[in-house]
């Protein structure tokens, strides 16, 4: 080997030994740290539990919004039934229903959409702002209005009115119905047992002898149609009442002959009778 290279190598090693070096050694882990590392490796990562939301109390949910609306409509209905039919501002309604803590977005939704488009509420504009009142099914305010409504229903043949609709619309309805018992007929429907109010027309009341009632109830007409009843009355010498309002149309209707003989046609240009001339003779001569 070249002696010059060996000298350079030895000089390089001397310089390297003369320069000090600091080595950072890693600290040996203790027993507790080893145990914690092993525990982390052994246990699989657990997924985070999802937060449970109470939709009845969450102010941003649609269920909470509609619960606020339902509470308002129910309160306004009870006010109307108690005789307090005055319209209220939205803040007044929320104050009476203890719902002043709702958010601004729900207030805006109630004022512009929910209450304004609700079929059970009516909107009234005033100088103070937009007010809301309960809208009943029947437009009656007292017992006179109820009597007028029932008379009108009886006159045009619409029948009766449900008791529940009267209770919803008329303030203090049970008291008013009790005062009008002599002018009403109350019937319970067999299907759902709901009470129906009819107007009692006292002009139609007439007395019937008990003998006629017994004769009427003694006749059995079960299983008989109208044709057989009419035949029985004819054999007994009793003329049955015919319905004059119904016309029977025959299958082959006869057509009237000679209906087009005396038809008159409309004449036109009658105002030119003096101006027109007949040139038929001149044409025959030529």
Mind listing the pLDDT tens digit for each residue in 178-200?
A: 888 888 889 998 888 889 999 98
Looking at the structure of the chain, the number of domains it has is: 2
285 found inside a domain:
no
Q: In whole angstroms, what is the distance from residue 122 CA to residue 135 CA?
A: 6
Structure-token pair, residue 252: 């082959």
**Pairwise pLDDT comparison (269 vs 215), residue with the higher score:** 215
Question: What is the predicted pLDDT for the residue at 95?
Answer: 92
pLDDT confidence band for 19 (50 / 70 / 90): confident
19 found inside a domain:
no
Question: What is the predicted pLDDT for the residue at 196?
Answer: 92
Structure-token pair, residue 92: 């007044």
State pLDDT tens for residues 58-107.
445 788 889 999 999 999 999 988 888 889 999 999 999 998 888 999 99
- Say if residue 135 is exposed, middle or buried (CB neighbours under 10 Å; 0-12, 13-18, 19+): middle
Last-in-domain residue among 114, 134, 154: 134
State pLDDT tens for residues 199-231.
988 877 778 888 888 888 887 777 778 888 888
pTM over the 0.75 mark: no
- Domain residue limits at 161: 143-204
Q: Are residues 110 and 151 in the same domain?
A: no
Going from the C-alpha of 2 to that of each of 8, 11, 15, 285, the distances in angstroms are: 10, 15, 21, 163
Question: What is the predicted pLDDT for the residue at 51?
Answer: 47
250 found inside a domain:
no
Q: Are residues 157 and 189 in the same domain?
A: yes
State pLDDT tens for residues 97-152.
998 888 999 999 998 888 989 999 999 888 888 899 999 988 888 889 999 999 99
């Amino acid at each position: 080997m070249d002696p010059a290279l060996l000298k350079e190598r030895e000089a390089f090693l001397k310089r390297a030994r003369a320069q000090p070096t600091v080595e950072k050694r890693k600290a040996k882990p203790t027993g507790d740290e080893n145990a914690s590392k092993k525990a982390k490796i052994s246990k699989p990562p657990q997924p985070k539990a999802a937060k449970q939301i109470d939709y009845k109390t969450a102010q941003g949910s649609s269920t909470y919004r509609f619960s606020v609306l339902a509470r308002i409509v129910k309160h306004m209905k009870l006010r109307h039934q108690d005789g307090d039919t005055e319209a209220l501002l939205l803040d007044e309604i929320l104050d009476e229903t203890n719902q002043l803590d709702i958010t601004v977005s729900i207030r805006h939704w109630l004022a512009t959409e929910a209450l304004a488009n609700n079929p059970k509420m009516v909107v009234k504009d005033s100088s103070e702002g937009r007010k809301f009142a309960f809208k009943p099914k029947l437009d009656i305010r007292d017992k006179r209005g109820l009597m007028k409504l029932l008379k009108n229903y009886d006159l045009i043949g619409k029948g009766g009115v449900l008791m529940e609709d009267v209770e919803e619309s008329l303030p203090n309805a049970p008291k008013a119905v009790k005062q009008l018992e002599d002018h009403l007929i109350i019937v319970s429907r067999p299907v759902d047992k709901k009470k129906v109010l009819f107007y009692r027309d006292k002009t139609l009341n007439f007395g019937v002898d008990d003998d006629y009632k017994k004769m009427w109830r003694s006749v059995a007409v079960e299983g008989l149609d109208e044709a057989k009843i009419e035949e029985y009355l004819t054999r007994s010498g009793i003329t049955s009442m015919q319905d004059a309002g119904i016309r029977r149309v025959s299958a082959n209707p006869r057509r009237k002959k000679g209906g087009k003989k005396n038809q008159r046609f409309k004449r036109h240009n009658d105002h030119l009778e003096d101006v027109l001339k007949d040139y038929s003779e001149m044409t025959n001569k030529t």
